Amino acid sequence: MKKVGKLHLLGIPEGLWQEISINIIGPLPKSNNKDAIVIIVDQFTKMIRLKIMTIAVSSQDIAKIYRNEIWKIHGVLQKILSNQGPQFISKFIKDLSKMLETKRILSIAYYSQTDSQMERINQEVNY
């Protein structure tokens, strides 16, 4: 029998809607051409938001749900947990940033031409 790995606790969030979980349940039997449920859970209060969608729901669709139903009331999240995979979460954050008009500037590590100020500060930090 295979050994079971250790359980790693996620920790307790410090406030409302700072840490969320996202899951998609489906395909379900169709009702009004919808066959899936998107679930967004606040890790602090366990409050949930449910949205009936199609199984073809995209990260952009979920980003719109987050922006329209959570962000406008509770602000920007600090952590996100999902079993949808890292590519989905990356796309979700990209779509959400675009909707919130947050400009993302990505670079590779140790590439001083992108952010020389940060590279210079890093040289001053002793670790």
CATH number corresponding to 19-99: 3.30.420.10
Instruction: Please state the pTM of the whole predicted model.
Output: 0.68
Strongest mean pLDDT among 24-33, 75-84, 115-124: 24-33
- Where does the pLDDT of residue 127 fall: very low under 50, low under 70, confident under 90, or very high at 90 and above? very low
For the chain, what are the domain ranges?
Answer: 19-99
Strand order through the sheet with 36-42: 48-53, 36-42, 19-25, 79-82
Residue keyed to tokens 């406008």? 72
d(CA 99, CA 114): 24
Go through 61-91 and write b for each residue having 16 or more CB atoms within 10 A of its CB, e for each that does not: bbbebbeeebbeebeebeebebeeeeebeeb
Length of the chain in residues, anyone?
127
pLDDT digits (tens, 9 = 90+) for 19-76: 888 888 889 999 999 999 888 888 888 888 889 999 998 889 988 988 888 888 888 7
**What percent of the chain has a predicted confidence (pLDDT) above 90?**
14
CA nearest neighbour of 96 among 58, 61, 59, 63: 63
More confident residue, 39 or 108: 39
- Where does the pLDDT of residue 18 fall: very low under 50, low under 70, confident under 90, or very high at 90 and above? confident
pLDDT > 70? residue 106: no
Write the CA distances from 2 to 5, 8, 9, integer angstroms: 9, 18, 22
pLDDT of residue 99: 86
